[in-house]
C-alpha cells in the first residue's frame, strides 16, 4: 500500500512538474529545445532504472541475497559501473552539440538545446547509481525507497525551477534535472546502508552449514551474454521517442512539446498499471529460479489482467475527455488554447497504443525473469521500432504530428502482439489464447466506456464540470460490459 501511494505521488509530482514547465515556457521553440535535452535522462532512466538495470540486477541480487553475498556483488559491480557511467556522462557533455544535431536536426534554438543537454548529461551517472541501489533494495524486499525515487526527482526539478532566477529561462529546468538525479541517490542510500548492515549481521549469526545455498559467499556474475539483449531491448524501446522527436523537429515550433505533453498525460494510467508488475517482478523471478512455473504463470496472468483493466479505464478517459484534460492541466501562463487543441488531438491518437505499451512493459519482465540470455524480446522491439520509423516517415507528411503519434501506436502494438505470442514457448507457460480473449473483452468494454464518456463530456462547456460528469459513466459502462462479457480482471 505504501509503495502504491509513493508511486502515485511520484506520478502526480511528475504531472505538477510538467504543469510548471508548461506554465513558464509554453509549447514553443524554448520548450522544444529543453525536451531535446530531456532525451538524455529519458534514455538513462529506461536503460539504467526502469528496464535494463532492473531486469539484469534484480535476479542477480535475488540470488545474492540467498547466498548472503550482496556486499560482494556490490564490490564487484559498483566501482566499474561508476567509472563507465562517469566517462559516458563526460562524453555527452563534451559532445553536446553533436548530440543535439543527431537527435533533432533543424531545431530552431540549437544553442539553448546544447546548454540544456550539458546540464541533463549528469543523469547518466546518477541514474546508474539509482538503478543499482533500487535493484539491491528490491531484492531485499525493501520497496519503500525505490518507490520514492521519482518523488525526490520531481521535487528536485520543481524546487530548482522555482528557486533559480527567471533570466535563466528553460535552463533552470535542465539544471533541475541534474539536482533531481542527486536527490534520487540520496533518498535510497540510507535504506541500502541499513539493509547491508542487517544482512551482514544475519549472515554472521547464521549456524554454519544450516540452510546453505551452493556457492554461498560467491558473488554471482553478470555476463555480457545476459546484458546485451536487455540493453538492446531497452534502447530500442526508448528509440521510439527518438524517432518521434527526429521526425517532429522540422515541423512548426511546438510540435515536440505537443507530443511530449500528450504522452505525459496519456502515460499516467500506464504507469499505475505497471506499478504492480514492478513490485511482483522479484516474485516471478524467484518462482522461475525455483522451477515453480505454475506459480509464475498464475502471477503473470493475474497481473496482466489487472494491468489491462487499469490502463484501459485510463485510455477511455483520455480519449473521451482529451480537450478537457489538457485544458484543466496545462492551459495557463504561456500555454494557450491553440496548444490545448493541438495537444488533445495528439493525445487521442497516442492513447490508442497505451494497451500495447502496458503489455510490453509487463511481458518483458516475464522473459527476463529467469536471468538467462534471451534475444526474442529485443528482436520484437526492433521490429516494432522499424514499423514506427517507416510508418512515421510515411504519415508525417500528410498528417504531421498526428501521423507520428499513430506510428508510435502501431509500432508498440506490434511488439506487444509478438511478445504475447512468444511467451509460452520462451518464458512463462501462460495460456496465450485465454489472455488474448480476456484482453479483447476488456478492450470492447473500454470502447463502450469511451463512447459513454464522450457523450457526457460534450454535454457541458466547462472543462472541469465535463470531466466530473464523464468519469462515473466511463467506469460504470466499463465494469458493466466487462461483467456481461465475463472478462477476467474486471
pLDDT tens per residue across span 409-447 = 999 999 999 999 888 776 677 788 888 898 999 999 999
- Residue of higher predicted confidence among 16 and 486: 16
Q: Quick one: DSSP state of residue 50?
A: I
Helices 255-289, 354-367: inter-axial angle, 10-degree rounding: 30
pLDDT, residue 306, reads 85
Q: Do 451 and 312 contact (CB within 8 A), yes or no? A: no
Q: Of 61, 72, 212, which is closest to residue 141 (Cα–Cα)?
A: 61
Average of per-residue pLDDT across 207-221: 44
pLDDT-derived band of residue 63, with 50, 70 and 90 as boundaries? low
Alpha helices in 219-374 (DSSP H): 224-248, 255-289, 293-320, 322-330, 337-350, 354-367
pLDDT, residue 83, reads 93
pLDDT, residue 1, reads 65
CA distance linking residue 225 with residue 147, whole number of Å = 29
Check pLDDT > 50 for residue 210: no
pLDDT, residue 99, reads 94
Mean pLDDT of the residues in the chain: 84
Q: What is the pLDDT of residues 364-419, one digit of tens each?
A: 877 776 556 688 999 999 999 999 999 999 999 999 999 999 999 999 999 999 99
pLDDT, residue 49, reads 85
pLDDT, residue 212, reads 44
Check pLDDT > 80 for residue 296: no
The x, y and z cell numbers of residue 419, run together, are 511478445
Using the structure block, give the residue that is written with the C-alpha cell 529543453. 34
Residue 331: CA count within 13 A, CB half-sphere? 18
Q: Of 394, 319, 380, 390, which is closest to residue 353 (Cα–Cα)?
A: 319
Average of per-residue pLDDT across 296-325: 88
Provide the phi-psi class of 315: left if phi over 0, else alpha when psi is between -120 and 50, else beta.
alpha
pLDDT, residue 192, reads 81
Q: Of 324, 273, 330, which is closest to residue 468 (Cα–Cα)?
A: 324
Cα three-residue angle 392-395-401, rounded to 5 degrees: 80
Length of the chain: 490
Q: Is 283 exposed, middle or buried (0-12, 13-18, 19+ CB in 10 A)?
A: middle
Using the structure block, give the residue that is written with the C-alpha cell 496545462. 330
pLDDT, residue 489, reads 54
pLDDT-derived band of residue 238, with 50, 70 and 90 as boundaries? confident
Amino acid at each position: 500500500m505504501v509503495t502504491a501511494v509513493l508511486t502515485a505521488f511520484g506520478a502526480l509530482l511528475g504531472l505538477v512538474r510538467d504543469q510548471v514547465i508548461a506554465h513558464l515556457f509554453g509549447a514553443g521553440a524554448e520548450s522544444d529545445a529543453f525536451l531535446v535535452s530531456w532525451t538524455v535522462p529519458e534514455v538513462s532512466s529506461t536503460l539504467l532504472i526502469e528496464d535494463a538495470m532492473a531486469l539484469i540486477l534484480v535476479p542477480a541480487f535475488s540470488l545474492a541475497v540467498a547466498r548472503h553475498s550482496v556486499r560482494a556483488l556490490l564490490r564487484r559491480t559498483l566501482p566499474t559501473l561508476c567509472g563507465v557511467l562517469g566517462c559516458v556522462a563526460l562524453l555527452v557533455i563534451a559532445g553536446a552539440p553533436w548530440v543535439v544535431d543527431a537527435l533533432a536536426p533543424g531545431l530552431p534554438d540549437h544553442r539553448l538545446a546544447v546548454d540544456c543537454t550539458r546540464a541533463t548529461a549528469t543523469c547518466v551517472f546518477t541514474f546508474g547509481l539509482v538503478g543499482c541501489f533500487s535493484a539491491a533494495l528490491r531484492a531485499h524486499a525493501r520497496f519503500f525507497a525505490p518507490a520514492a525515487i521519482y518523488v525526490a526527482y520531481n521535487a528536485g526539478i520543481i524546487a530548482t525551477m522555482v528557486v533559480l532566477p527567471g533570466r535563466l529561462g528553460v535552463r533552470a529546468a535542465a539544471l533541475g534535472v541534474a539536482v533531481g538525479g542527486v536527490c534520487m541517490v540520496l533518498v535510497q542510500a540510507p535504506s541500502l546502508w541499513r539493509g547491508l548492515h542487517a544482512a551482514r549481521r544475519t549472515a554472521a549469526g547464521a549456524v554454519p552449514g544450516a540452510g546453505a545455498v551452493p556457492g554461498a559467499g560467491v558473488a554471482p556474475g553478470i555476463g555480457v551474454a545476459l546484458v546485451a539483449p536487455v540493453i538492446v531491448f531497452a534502447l530500442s524501446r526508448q528509440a521510439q521517442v527518438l524517432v518521434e522527436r527526429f521526425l517532429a523537429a522540422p515541423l512548426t515550433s511546438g510540435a515536440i512539446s505537443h507530443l511530449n505533453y500528450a504522452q505525459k498525460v496519456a502515460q499516467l494510467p500506464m504507469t499505475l498499471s505497471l506499478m504492480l508488475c514492478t513490485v511482483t517482478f522479484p516474485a516471478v523471478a524467484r518462482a522461475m529460479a525455483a522451477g515453480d512455473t505454475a506459480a509464475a504463470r498464475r502471477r503473470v496472468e493475474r497481473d496482466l489482467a489487472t494491468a489491462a483493466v487499469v490502463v484501459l479505464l485510463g485510455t477511455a478517459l483520455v480519449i473521451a475527455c482529451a480537450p478537457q484534460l489538457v485544458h484543466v492541466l496545462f492551459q495557463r501562463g504561456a500555454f494557450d488554447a491553440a496548444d490545448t487543441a493541438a495537444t488533445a488531438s495528439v493525445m487521442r491518437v497516442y492513447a490508442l497504443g497505451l494497451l500495447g505499451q502496458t503489455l510490453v512493459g509487463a511481458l518483458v519482465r516475464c522473459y527476463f525473469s529467469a536471468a538467462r540470455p534471451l534475444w526474442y524480446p529485443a528482436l520484437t522491439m526492433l521490429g516494432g521500432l522499424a514499423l514506427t520509423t517507416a510508418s512515421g516517415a510515411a504519415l508525417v507528411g500528410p498528417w504531421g504530428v498526428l501521423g507520428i503519434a499513430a506510428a508510435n501506436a502501431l509500432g508498440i502494438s506490434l511488439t506487444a502482439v509478438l511478445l504475447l505470442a512468444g511467451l509460452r514457448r520462451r518464458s512463462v507457460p501462460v495460456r496465450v489464447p485465454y489472455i488474448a480473449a480476456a484482453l479483447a473483452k476488456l478492450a470492447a468494454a473500454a470502447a463502450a466506456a469511451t463512447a459513454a464518456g464522450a457523450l457526457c463530456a460534450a454535454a457541458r462547456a466547462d472543462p472541469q464540470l465535463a470531466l466530473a460528469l464523464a468519469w462515473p459513466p466511463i467506469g460504470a459502462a466499463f465494469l458493466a460490459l466487462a461483467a456481461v462479457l465475463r472478462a477476467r480482471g474486471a
